[in-house]
Amino acid sequence: MQQVFPTLPSRRNGESFEDRYGFRSDEPCVRFKVLNKGLRISLGLIASDIAVPVSEARNFSWKGISVIIIETKMTFLSLPELPNTVSIWGGGGAAQLLASLTWLQNCRVIYWGDIDTHGFHIVSRLRGGLPHLETVMMDHLTLEDCSSIVVSAREAKYEDTSMLTANEHVAYMRVKLGQLLLEQEKIPHSYAVARLVSATTIRS
């Protein structure tokens, strides 16, 4: 029987099937959610929730807006309407792609993740590429206010904390030494909304 498709040469040193056989791999996407209808219109978007290949997201020219990076998808989908604000789902390693979006240097960037050693590790790594990065609900005050829903965490060895602020480091040491975890989706909705509204309207 005649072979319909030629045998592709194998690049045995490739790490993936696509690498070995010269195919294009699936490009990572960045998922955005615009939290204000007026902003969506001014940005020229037809939908408020979009996922864009990272190479195309780099071409955006957005500036002068607030960008909230959210670790958990459930929380990302439940965010309230906020003025002049776009959210980015940073879970699954997506947060590490964001330093390549140079237009973020022209925006106010806020990160909200779980309060645990891993969450603070993400903050420190992000701030290496986004030195103006702020955090919300990742501090000692939040741990105190939400102490009833703090749980035990497994020991983790995340020691990249060189870029944490003094307030973040206080909270980091508390969760590290106590092996604690405060999951962002467990924080009461009314409390989270109040803190988010304050964070996006008042600069510290």
Element (H, E) at 68: strand 66-70
Q: Dihedrals φ, ψ of 63, to 5°?
A: -155, 155
Separation of alpha carbons 172 and 99, rounded Å: 23
The 10s digit of each residue's pLDDT in 54-96 is 999 999 999 999 999 999 999 999 999 999 999 999 886 777 7
133-159 mean pLDDT: 91
Cα distance between residue 140 and residue 43, in whole Å: 36
Select 26-201's CATH number: 3.40.50, 1.10.3470, 3.40.1360, 3.40.30: 3.40.1360
Minimum mean pLDDT among 92-101, 114-123, 178-187, 191-200: which range? 92-101
Read off the pLDDT of each residue in 43-56 and give the average, rounded to a whole number. Answer: 94
Domain coordinates in residue numbering, the chain: 26-201
